[in-house]
């Protein structure tokens, strides 16, 4: 009998432990809401936590100032610095963290701030972290025009040593002068250095009978198609040699490297896709352009975003998805209202609470500049718009242009940072930028050649209007 009782006790302990493991946070302070996110409440006062919170074990969490939602994944703070929070427990990362792609990041032990640039560790060794992504440098790397070597495993900068026959001094500088002046960086891109002066090549360079082109700022060797002074050139994707007297992708290239490939134009066929016409002008165009440009995006990226926003909403932050009119009718809208009147009714209904937050996020109706539809994104749109106006002492307005741009930027630089924001920063043509936004951020049901051409045409129209 005693043995059976002990077995039962053991079973109960196992069940309790399993439940604790299944729940990311086992405490009466914690509450999980319908969308799966967590909130924290003070047991004595019942007050919901917002902002930073240090738990009894010394670990940190962060909760949205407006909604109390516990942060998970990447979070960019107001000062531009990045933090990372465990996807399950919300624990702020400190120290070393290896991401699924194998790259390493380092977070300050006290503040959790992701390291960028140079960092000296307590043991006196140096590491370097990419200024944009925070990825730790490994192998040979060009920094501020000088080659450095970093241990491929530990990331430690080489100093007072010899690597592959190249002497590295106490400051980490190398005497490396590669054979024929070529240097392949850790990302696979190529640079060329003059053997006599050590100067990195930029612009055009002739070696023997072949021509090469190097980026004017970074020195990166050109490969593939490149638009230079309004003329398309093609550079071998392996060697970087400019193509002459040949045909590439159906385009004829003459003896001087000029091709008959047309620049991106309305009505032209570009990469096999018919480019559509420009968008109609709206009262919000200039404000939207200035918003994204003021945050550091180049003209290609800004135009690519705007072309997609116009395709989604006509640049109208208060527009309701026309195909879901029947759902709005089910919420009490009078049946005789036009499309524009429906926009006004729905927006006012959300602002006044006739349509509650839960109804708004679950109704499946696309709304606003980006036609946000999915329940978690609409919930965030609602909550962050509420916080946007509360912080400014303004009444809540779900159809506010400024609040929606602020939310779009937040999404772009957090949840879509890797898939969309970072590639957009490197966009070097309108078509590329437009497709990044279409295929990675908007992701509508139809992503084929038709929508690509239409949105690229809109994007080109904005580029020509504001940057041309």
* 246-266 residue pLDDT tens: 998 778 999 999 887 766 777
* 376-424 residue pLDDT tens: 999 999 999 999 999 999 999 999 999 999 999 999 999 999 999 999 9
CA–CA distances in Å: residue 411 to residues 35, 173, 174: 17, 40, 42
Quote the pLDDT of residue 467.
83
How far apart, in whole angstroms, are the C-alpha atoms of residue 142 and residue 151?
Answer: 14
Nearest CA-CA partner of 283 in 245, 330, 316, 305: 316
Quote the pLDDT of residue 138.
85
Reported as a pLDDT band with limits 50, 70 and 90, residue 5 is low
Reported as a pLDDT band with limits 50, 70 and 90, residue 174 is confident
Task: Give yes or no for residue 312 having a pLDDT over 60.
Answer: yes
Tokens encoding 174:
């190398």
Task: Give yes or no for residue 184 having a pLDDT over 70.
Answer: yes
How far apart, in whole angstroms, are the C-alpha atoms of residue 64 and residue 72?
Answer: 11
Reported as a pLDDT band with limits 50, 70 and 90, residue 166 is confident
Tokens encoding 117:
């640039």
How far apart, in whole angstroms, are the C-alpha atoms of residue 145 and residue 139?
Answer: 16
SS3 95: strand
How far apart, in whole angstroms, are the C-alpha atoms of residue 127 and residue 377?
Answer: 37
SS3 292: helix
What 8-state DSSP symbol labels residue 324?
Answer: G
Nearest CA-CA partner of 321 in 350, 298, 292, 342: 342
For residue 89, the surrounding DSSP H or E stretch is: none
Quote the pLDDT of residue 370.
97
Quote the pLDDT of residue 231.
75
b (16+ CB within 10 A) / e for 173-199: ebebebeebebebeeebbbbbeeeeee
How far apart, in whole angstroms, are the C-alpha atoms of residue 410 and residue 414?
Answer: 6
How far apart, in whole angstroms, are the C-alpha atoms of residue 235 and residue 190?
Answer: 13
Tokens encoding 357:
């937050």
Tokens encoding 59:
């670990």
Task: Give yes or no for residue 20 having a pLDDT over 50.
Answer: no
* 97-111 residue pLDDT tens: 998 878 899 999 999
Q: What is the average pLDDT across 161-184?
A: 76
Quote the pLDDT of residue 311.
96
* 315-343 residue pLDDT tens: 999 999 999 999 999 999 999 999 999 99
Tokens encoding 345:
């009714």
């Amino acid at each position: 009998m005693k043995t059976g009782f002990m077995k039962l006790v053991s079973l109960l302990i196992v069940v309790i432990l399993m439940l604790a493991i299944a729940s990311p946070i086992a405490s009466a302070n914690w509450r999980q809401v319908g969308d799966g996110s967590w909130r924290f409440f003070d047991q004595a006062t019942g007050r919901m936590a917002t902002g930073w919170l240090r738990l009894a074990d010394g670990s940190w969490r962060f909760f949205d100032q407006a909604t109390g939602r516990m942060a998970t994944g990447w979070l960019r703070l107001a000062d531009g610095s990045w933090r990372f929070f465990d996807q399950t427990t919300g624990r702020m990362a400190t120290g070393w963290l290896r991401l699924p792609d194998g790259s390493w990041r380092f977070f300050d032990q006290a503040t959790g701030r992701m390291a960028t640039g140079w960092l000296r560790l307590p043991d006196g060794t140096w590491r370097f972290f990419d200024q944009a992504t925070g990825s730790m440098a490994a192998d040979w790397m060009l920094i501020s025009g000088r080659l450095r070597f970093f241990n491929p495993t530990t990331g430690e900068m080489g100093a007072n040593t010899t690597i592959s026959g190249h002497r590295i001094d106490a400051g980490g500088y190398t005497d490396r002068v590669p054979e024929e002046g070529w240097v392949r960086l850790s990302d696979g891109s190529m640079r060329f250095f003059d053997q006599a002066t050590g100067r990195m090549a930029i612009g055009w360079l002739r070696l023997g009978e072949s021509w090469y082109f190097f980026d004017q700022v970074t020195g990166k060797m050109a490969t593939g198609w490149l638009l230079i002074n309004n003329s398309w050139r093609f550079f071998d994707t392996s060697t970087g040699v400019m193509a002459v007297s040949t045909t590439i992708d159906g385009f004829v290239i003459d003896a001087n490297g000029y091709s008959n490939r047309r620049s991106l134009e309305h009505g032209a066929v570009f990469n096999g896709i018919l480019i559509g016409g420009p968008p109609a002008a709206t009262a919000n165009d200039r404000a939207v352009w200035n918003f994204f440009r003021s945050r550091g995006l180049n003209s290609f990226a800004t135009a690519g975003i705007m072309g997609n926003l116009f395709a989604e909403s006509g640049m109208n932050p208060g527009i309701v998805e026309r195909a879901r009119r029947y759902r709005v009718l089910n919420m009490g809208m009078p049946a005789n209202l036009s499309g524009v009147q429906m926009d006004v009714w729905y927006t006012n209904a959300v602002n006044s609470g006739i349509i509650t937050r839960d109804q708004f996020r679950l109704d499946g109706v696309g709304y606003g500049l980006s036609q946000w539809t999915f329940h978690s994104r609409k919930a965030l749109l609602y909550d962050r718009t509420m916080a946007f106006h509360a912080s400014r002492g303004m009444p809540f307005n779900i159809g506010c242009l400024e609040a929606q741009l602020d939310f779009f930027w937040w999404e772009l630089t957090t949840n879509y940072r890797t898939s969309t924001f970072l590639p957009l920063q490197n966009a070097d043509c309108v078509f590329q930028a437009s497709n990044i936004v279409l295929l990675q951020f908007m992701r509508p049901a139809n992503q084929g050649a038709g929508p690509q051409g239409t949105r690229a045409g809109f994007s080109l129209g904005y580029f020509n209007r504001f940057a041309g």
